[in-house]
Chain A
């Protein structure tokens, strides 16, 4: 698995072509679709992934989430890096 320390705060994460975040009407849930993969996505992950537009830096994403949800920045930072490193290992996020 990728090391959390390897994700730079200046990385601009994005969903690569072929990976979509989609709200599925039939099942009433958010899903991350990739080649031969469907991942159920919890509300926190949805908020993170919606911000992975290839423009915002990781540090900006963390600031934004911490402010919006009035949460401790270190905690948010750890959550975001954990999710993105897991998805990067599956090649579902580009860093």
Chain B
């Protein structure tokens, strides 16, 4: 050991909170980022709990509050929550499927101070969109919601998750977002965790499909410069280096689940042995700085080779812990997406099995996400 004491890097304040207000959702998207064990309605945080959480979030320096789910519109107190976020100075972003919103409710949300709406679309082709969502009529409803968002004067982002059944229309989705009046579009290739990992066989496109779709979307940046901002999340199974997952573990954002459990990322509960704290027992600041799950992979001390001596260790932070676990069996390993990982051949092998696929996916191939026991909305 070095005799000189190293000064620990101070832990920076978080910039964002992803509030999973509920796991209830009318849609069943097979790539849902919620955990396989969805939280039931019973036990969800009450309005006053969420208000305290958002007050604490603002006090520790959080800037953006992402109100998500499940479908956040399933919460009857959504307007109240938005008004409270506004009061404590948080930027509020509603991440919604649109189902459960009405024109009247959108007006109320806008009046309460909502800053931005992010609306998901499953595909630019209606029938395919409804099949992916597992909900007939979802597409048509979303068209209404986009119109109401514009009429309420709220800025709109359209979000589309890309996979085999819609990848032929990746570029079309950008044009479609422009037609819907969006100022920003997220074209996000599926990341294979939790539900998407369960459904990987039905979701993953071929390398050729990916290359074509990525080139198509990139070319549209110039076409729509100044008209729409394109955020493009490219698929990592075909990459050389891993993504900087979450911008680094416990470095920028935190998730609060419907029952108050605080996670460093959506999928963190898939990692065994992590101790998560709950907002019912601890303040958000205490959790951010001191909860064992947050400190488990914070910084670079936990790393093994090839990450430990890698010059990119503060660029991509070893990639994704959940993916390292899912594909190598150990969350401390380098994300095997990295070509320097000794497990990288596993990723190439998986990817190679999709060489021959086409875009036709029978609906029966999806495991739609659902609560174990159906609860009335």
A, B from the same assembly: yes
- Partner of B61 from the list A2, A16, A17, A24 (CB cut-off 8 Å) is A24
Measured CB to CB, the nearest residue on chain B to A26 is: B61
Distance, CA A24 to CA B89, complexed state (A): 10
**Min C-beta distance of B12 to chain A, whole Å:** 9
B115 near A17 with CB under 8 A, answer yes
Residues of A within 8 A of B60 (CB): 26
Is there contact, CB below 8 Å, between A36 and B231? Answer: yes
Are the C-beta atoms of A35 and B61 separated by less than 8 Å?
no
Asked if A89 and B154 sit within 8 Å, CB to CB, the answer is: no
- Contact for B116 among A2, A18, A90, CB less than 8 A: A18
- Which residues of the other chain, A, contact B231 by a CB distance below 8 angstroms? 36
* Cross-chain contact B15 with A88 (CB below 8 angstroms): no
Let me know if A89 and B91 touch, CB within 8 A: no
A89 to B93, CA, bound (A): 21
For the complex, give the distance between the alpha carbons of A90 and B44 in Å: 37
- A78 interface residue (CB < 8 Å to B): no
Residues of A within 8 A of B228 (CB): 91
- Give A17 Cβ to nearest chain B Cβ, in Å: 6
B247 CB to closest chain A CB (Å) equals: 11
Q: Mark A5-36, 1 if CB is under 8 A from B, else 0.
A: 00000000000111010101111000101011
A67 on the interface (CB 8 Å rule)? Answer: no
Interface residue ranges, B against A (CB under 8 Å): 13, 15, 60-61, 63-64, 89, 91, 93, 115-116, 118, 153-155, 157, 183-184, 225-226, 228-229, 231
Beyond the given pairs A2-B225, A31-B63, A35-B155, 5 more chain A to chain B contacts, judged by CB atoms under 8 angstroms and listed by A's residue number, are A24-B61, A33-B91, A38-B15, A91-B226, A91-B229
